[in-house]
Structure 1
Amino acid sequence: MTMGQTSSSSVDMNSKEAKYIGEMIHDHCVVVFSKQYCPYCKMAKDVFNDLQAKYEVVELDQRDDGAQLQNILSHMTGARTVPRVFVRGKCIGGGTETKSLQKSGKLEPMLRECGAL
Protein backbone atom coordinates (compact mmCIF):
# COMPACT_ATOMS: atom_id res chain seq x y z
CA MET A 1 0.00 0.00 0.00
CA THR A 2 1.33 3.44 -0.85
CA MET A 3 1.22 6.45 1.40
CA GLY A 4 -2.19 8.07 1.59
CA GLN A 5 -4.12 4.90 0.87
CA THR A 6 -6.20 3.18 3.48
CA SER A 7 -7.58 -0.31 3.58
CA SER A 8 -11.03 -1.05 4.92
CA SER A 9 -9.45 -3.34 7.52
CA SER A 10 -7.81 -0.26 9.08
CA VAL A 11 -11.20 1.33 9.82
CA ASP A 12 -11.80 1.51 13.56
CA MET A 13 -15.54 1.24 14.10
CA ASN A 14 -14.98 2.11 17.78
CA SER A 15 -13.23 5.38 17.01
CA LYS A 16 -14.67 8.74 18.03
CA GLU A 17 -15.39 9.41 14.33
CA ALA A 18 -17.41 6.18 13.99
CA LYS A 19 -19.29 7.02 17.19
CA TYR A 20 -20.02 10.51 15.81
CA ILE A 21 -21.52 9.02 12.63
CA GLY A 22 -23.56 6.55 14.68
CA GLU A 23 -24.90 9.31 16.90
CA MET A 24 -25.74 11.56 13.95
CA ILE A 25 -27.72 8.89 12.09
CA HIS A 26 -29.40 7.76 15.32
CA ASP A 27 -30.34 11.26 16.55
CA HIS A 28 -31.54 12.75 13.24
CA CYS A 29 -34.15 11.50 10.79
CA VAL A 30 -32.13 12.64 7.77
CA VAL A 31 -28.36 13.10 7.57
CA VAL A 32 -26.46 14.03 4.41
CA PHE A 33 -22.70 13.44 4.49
CA SER A 34 -21.61 15.86 1.81
CA LYS A 35 -18.85 17.93 0.24
CA GLN A 36 -19.67 21.54 -0.58
CA TYR A 37 -18.38 21.44 -4.18
CA CYS A 38 -20.06 18.16 -5.13
CA PRO A 39 -22.96 18.44 -7.64
CA TYR A 40 -24.52 15.15 -6.46
CA CYS A 41 -24.47 16.45 -2.88
CA LYS A 42 -26.25 19.60 -4.07
CA MET A 43 -28.79 17.38 -5.86
CA ALA A 44 -29.57 15.49 -2.64
CA LYS A 45 -29.81 18.68 -0.54
CA ASP A 46 -32.05 20.27 -3.20
CA VAL A 47 -34.46 17.32 -2.90
CA PHE A 48 -34.83 17.90 0.85
CA ASN A 49 -35.00 21.68 0.40
CA ASP A 50 -37.73 21.32 -2.27
CA LEU A 51 -39.73 19.12 0.12
CA GLN A 52 -39.04 21.56 2.98
CA ALA A 53 -37.78 18.60 4.99
CA LYS A 54 -35.65 18.89 8.11
CA TYR A 55 -32.20 17.40 7.61
CA GLU A 56 -28.67 17.59 8.98
CA VAL A 57 -25.64 18.11 6.76
CA VAL A 58 -22.08 17.10 7.58
CA GLU A 59 -19.70 18.79 5.12
CA LEU A 60 -16.75 16.40 5.05
CA ASP A 61 -14.54 18.88 3.19
CA GLN A 62 -14.98 21.40 6.02
CA ARG A 63 -13.87 19.07 8.81
CA ASP A 64 -10.39 18.06 9.95
CA ASP A 65 -11.65 14.48 10.37
CA GLY A 66 -13.50 14.43 7.02
CA ALA A 67 -11.21 11.81 5.45
CA GLN A 68 -11.63 9.49 8.44
CA LEU A 69 -15.41 9.98 8.35
CA GLN A 70 -15.46 9.18 4.63
CA ASN A 71 -13.43 5.99 5.22
CA ILE A 72 -15.89 4.89 7.91
CA LEU A 73 -18.90 5.71 5.70
CA SER A 74 -17.31 3.70 2.89
CA HIS A 75 -16.86 0.76 5.25
CA MET A 76 -20.45 1.08 6.55
CA THR A 77 -22.21 1.56 3.20
CA GLY A 78 -19.96 -0.15 0.66
CA ALA A 79 -19.58 3.09 -1.33
CA ARG A 80 -16.95 5.78 -0.96
CA THR A 81 -18.76 8.44 -3.00
CA VAL A 82 -20.58 11.41 -1.55
CA PRO A 83 -23.19 12.18 -0.67
CA ARG A 84 -24.03 9.34 1.66
CA VAL A 85 -27.66 9.98 2.60
CA PHE A 86 -29.21 8.35 5.66
CA VAL A 87 -32.92 8.29 6.42
CA ARG A 88 -34.04 6.76 9.73
CA GLY A 89 -30.56 5.33 10.28
CA LYS A 90 -30.39 3.56 6.92
CA CYS A 91 -28.25 4.62 3.98
CA ILE A 92 -30.51 5.25 0.98
CA GLY A 93 -27.55 5.95 -1.32
CA GLY A 94 -26.36 9.14 -2.94
CA GLY A 95 -27.80 12.08 -4.86
CA THR A 96 -29.16 10.06 -7.77
CA GLU A 97 -30.87 7.53 -5.49
CA THR A 98 -32.35 10.29 -3.33
CA LYS A 99 -33.75 12.04 -6.42
CA SER A 100 -35.16 8.71 -7.71
CA LEU A 101 -36.89 8.02 -4.40
CA GLN A 102 -38.44 11.50 -4.53
CA LYS A 103 -39.64 11.02 -8.13
CA SER A 104 -41.13 7.61 -7.32
CA GLY A 105 -43.04 9.04 -4.34
CA LYS A 106 -41.26 6.73 -1.88
CA LEU A 107 -39.19 9.39 -0.10
CA GLU A 108 -41.96 11.53 1.41
CA PRO A 109 -43.58 8.69 3.43
CA MET A 110 -40.12 7.78 4.81
CA LEU A 111 -39.61 11.39 5.88
CA ARG A 112 -43.09 11.67 7.43
CA GLU A 113 -42.52 8.49 9.44
CA CYS A 114 -39.66 10.05 11.37
CA GLY A 115 -40.93 13.62 11.55
CA ALA A 116 -38.71 15.29 8.93
CA LEU A 117 -41.85 16.50 7.11
Structure 2
Amino acid sequence: MSAAQTKAEGIIDGNAVEYHTQNKQLTNPLLAVFSKSYCPYCNATKKLLTNLKANFYSIELDQVDDGSAIQSYLAEKTGQSSVPNIFIGQKHIGGNSDLQAKDKKDLESQLKELNAIQA
Protein backbone atom coordinates (compact mmCIF):
# COMPACT_ATOMS: atom_id res chain seq x y z
CA MET A 1 0.00 0.00 0.00
CA SER A 2 1.40 3.39 -0.95
CA ALA A 3 1.89 6.23 1.52
CA ALA A 4 -1.08 8.10 -0.01
CA GLN A 5 -3.31 5.03 0.33
CA THR A 6 -2.24 4.55 3.94
CA LYS A 7 -2.92 8.22 4.68
CA ALA A 8 -6.37 8.12 3.04
CA GLU A 9 -7.33 4.92 4.87
CA GLY A 10 -6.09 6.41 8.16
CA ILE A 11 -8.33 9.43 7.65
CA ILE A 12 -11.33 7.28 6.70
CA ASP A 13 -10.76 5.00 9.69
CA GLY A 14 -10.20 7.91 12.05
CA ASN A 15 -6.71 6.70 12.90
CA ALA A 16 -4.59 9.63 11.75
CA VAL A 17 -2.44 11.25 14.40
CA GLU A 18 -4.51 14.37 15.03
CA TYR A 19 -7.35 16.34 13.56
CA HIS A 20 -8.33 19.93 14.14
CA THR A 21 -11.87 21.01 13.47
CA GLN A 22 -13.99 23.81 14.85
CA ASN A 23 -11.03 24.79 17.06
CA LYS A 24 -11.05 21.39 18.77
CA GLN A 25 -8.60 18.56 18.49
CA LEU A 26 -10.25 15.22 17.83
CA THR A 27 -8.61 11.86 18.17
CA ASN A 28 -10.95 9.80 16.01
CA PRO A 29 -13.52 11.67 13.94
CA LEU A 30 -15.83 9.37 12.05
CA LEU A 31 -16.79 11.97 9.49
CA ALA A 32 -14.23 12.69 6.78
CA VAL A 33 -14.44 15.09 3.84
CA PHE A 34 -11.82 14.92 1.10
CA SER A 35 -12.05 18.41 -0.36
CA LYS A 36 -10.38 21.14 -2.41
CA SER A 37 -10.25 24.65 -1.00
CA TYR A 38 -11.57 26.36 -4.16
CA CYS A 39 -14.43 23.92 -4.85
CA PRO A 40 -17.91 25.41 -4.30
CA TYR A 41 -19.45 21.95 -3.79
CA CYS A 42 -16.85 21.17 -1.12
CA ASN A 43 -17.60 24.49 0.56
CA ALA A 44 -21.34 23.70 0.51
CA THR A 45 -20.65 20.33 2.16
CA LYS A 46 -18.48 21.89 4.87
CA LYS A 47 -21.05 24.64 5.44
CA LEU A 48 -23.85 22.11 5.93
CA LEU A 49 -21.77 20.08 8.38
CA THR A 50 -20.66 23.21 10.23
CA ASN A 51 -24.27 24.40 10.47
CA LEU A 52 -25.16 21.03 12.00
CA LYS A 53 -22.29 21.62 14.47
CA ALA A 54 -20.74 18.35 13.31
CA ASN A 55 -17.17 17.44 14.17
CA PHE A 56 -15.54 16.42 10.94
CA TYR A 57 -12.11 16.16 9.42
CA SER A 58 -11.54 17.88 6.11
CA ILE A 59 -8.36 17.44 4.10
CA GLU A 60 -7.80 19.97 1.34
CA LEU A 61 -6.30 17.86 -1.43
CA ASP A 62 -5.04 20.94 -3.29
CA GLN A 63 -3.00 21.99 -0.26
CA VAL A 64 -1.12 18.77 0.51
CA ASP A 65 1.76 17.34 -1.48
CA ASP A 66 0.12 13.94 -1.93
CA GLY A 67 -3.36 15.29 -2.72
CA SER A 68 -3.40 14.01 -6.31
CA ALA A 69 -2.30 10.55 -5.20
CA ILE A 70 -4.96 10.48 -2.47
CA GLN A 71 -7.64 11.57 -4.96
CA SER A 72 -6.53 8.87 -7.41
CA TYR A 73 -6.70 6.25 -4.67
CA LEU A 74 -10.17 7.40 -3.61
CA ALA A 75 -11.36 7.17 -7.23
CA GLU A 76 -10.08 3.60 -7.36
CA LYS A 77 -11.65 2.75 -3.98
CA THR A 78 -15.04 4.43 -4.45
CA GLY A 79 -15.51 4.91 -8.18
CA GLN A 80 -15.87 8.65 -7.52
CA SER A 81 -13.13 10.86 -8.92
CA SER A 82 -14.68 14.20 -7.93
CA VAL A 83 -14.63 16.11 -4.67
CA PRO A 84 -15.98 16.36 -2.11
CA ASN A 85 -15.63 12.69 -1.32
CA ILE A 86 -17.46 12.07 1.95
CA PHE A 87 -17.25 9.22 4.45
CA ILE A 88 -19.54 8.84 7.45
CA GLY A 89 -18.61 6.13 9.92
CA GLN A 90 -16.07 4.72 7.44
CA LYS A 91 -18.84 4.32 4.84
CA HIS A 92 -18.56 6.20 1.56
CA ILE A 93 -21.72 8.23 1.02
CA GLY A 94 -20.72 10.08 -2.15
CA GLY A 95 -20.37 13.77 -2.83
CA ASN A 96 -22.11 17.04 -2.03
CA SER A 97 -25.32 16.24 -3.93
CA ASP A 98 -25.60 12.94 -2.04
CA LEU A 99 -25.11 14.69 1.30
CA GLN A 100 -27.52 17.52 0.45
CA ALA A 101 -30.16 14.98 -0.67
CA LYS A 102 -30.17 13.25 2.72
CA ASP A 103 -33.06 14.03 5.02
CA LYS A 104 -31.58 16.53 7.49
CA LYS A 105 -33.17 14.90 10.56
CA ASP A 106 -31.91 11.46 9.50
CA LEU A 107 -28.44 12.88 8.84
CA GLU A 108 -28.40 14.62 12.21
CA SER A 109 -29.51 11.40 13.96
CA GLN A 110 -26.85 9.38 12.14
CA LEU A 111 -24.15 11.87 13.14
CA LYS A 112 -25.35 11.90 16.77
CA GLU A 113 -25.11 8.09 16.87
CA LEU A 114 -21.46 8.40 15.81
CA ASN A 115 -20.87 11.17 18.37
CA ALA A 116 -20.02 13.49 15.49
CA ILE A 117 -22.64 15.86 16.91
CA GLN A 118 -23.01 16.41 20.61
CA ALA A 119 -26.57 15.58 21.71
- TM-score (normalised: structure 2): 0.82
* Structure 1 residues 62 and 102: CA distance shift in structure 2, 3 A: farther
Q: Give the superposition deviation at 1:48.
A: 0.4
The structure with the largest strand share of the pair is: 2
1:70 aligns with 2:57: no
1:109 alignment partner AA = S
Q: Give the superposition deviation at 1:30.
A: 0.5
1:40 aligns with 2:27: no
Which structure's relative contact order is higher, taking Cα pairs within 8 Å and 6+ residues apart? 1
Q: Over aligned residues, Cα RMSD in angstroms?
A: 1.0
2:61 alignment partner AA = L
- The sequence identity of aligned pairs, in percent, is 37
**Residue of structure 2 equivalent to 1:23:** 10
> Which secondary structure state, in structure 1, belongs to the residue aligned with residue 102 of structure 2?
helix
**Residue of structure 2 equivalent to 1:111:** 111
* Structure 1 residues 102 and 49: CA distance shift in structure 2, 3 A: farther
| Partners of 1:43 and 1:96 within 8 A in 2 | no
Q: Give the superposition deviation at 1:85.
A: 0.5
1:84 aligns with 2:85: yes
Give me the whole-angstrom Cα distance separating, in 1, the residues matched to 2:101 and 2:112: 17
* Structure 1 residues 37 and 115: CA distance shift in structure 2, 3 A: same
> Which secondary structure state, in structure 2, belongs to the residue aligned with residue 58 of structure 1?
strand
Residues paired across the two proteins, number: 103
Point out the structure with max Rg over C-alpha. Answer: 1
- Which string of whole-angstrom CA distances, capped at 9 and with x for unpartnered residues, describes residues 42-67 of structure 1? 11101101101000000000011110
User: Following superposition, which runs of at least 4 residues in structure 1 exceed 2 angstroms of deviation?
Assistant: none
- TM-score (normalised: structure 1): 0.84
Give me the whole-angstrom Cα distance separating, in 2, the residues matched to 1:57 and 1:70: 13
- Structure 2 stretches lacking a partner, 5+ long: 15-28
